[in-house]
Structure 1
Amino acid sequence: MFTTDIFNTIRHYAGKFQTLHDDIRTERLINSLPHSIQKDIGWPDNYAARRAFRARRG
């Protein structure tokens, strides 16, 4: 039972790490797009709102 808890904890943190990695990769890709396309998809506004939400969550 104890080893199952350890594996679940490791899997949980590995999932968080993978999500963070995917977010960073996506942001890098979108930032490489021309500014006009970023504006069309609402990137600067959505990015600022998401960053503010993350900061509030802690």
Structure 2
Amino acid sequence: MSMFESLGRFGAAIKHAHNRNRSVRALNSLPPEIQKDIGWPSSPRSDPQATLSALLLGSAR
């Protein structure tokens, strides 16, 4: 395995993680009613712990 193959795999993993986090943020930004309709667990809006974890980890889930 060459160094370029390893870098390519690492880059693909980063891109996949970025796309997944962007999707999670988009779903979390929907109103709770719509989240419930599509089966996405409604995120607590006023929970300070959820806000802190969202800031530190990128998403509350």
Scaled by the length of structure 1, the TM-score of the pair is: 0.65
* Superposition deviation, residue 21 in structure 1: 0.4
**Counterpart for residue 48 of structure 1:** none
Q: Residue by residue, what CA displacement relative to the aligned partner does 1:2-50 show, whole Å, maximum 9, x if unpaired?
A: xx611110000100000100111111111110101111111118xxxxx
Q: Root-mean-square deviation (CA), in Å?
A: 1.6
Q: Percent identity?
A: 38
- The structure showing larger relative contact order (alpha-carbon pairs under 8 Å, at least 6 residues apart) is 2
In the alignment of these two chains, the number of paired residues is: 42
More helix by share: 1
- Counterpart of 1:35, as a letter, is P
Q: Which runs of 5+ in 1 are unaligned?
A: 46-58
- Are residues 1:37 and 2:46 paired? no
Scaled by the length of structure 2, the TM-score of the pair is: 0.62
Q: Which runs of 5+ in 2 are unaligned?
A: 43-61
Runs of 4+ in 1 over 2 A off after TM superposition: none
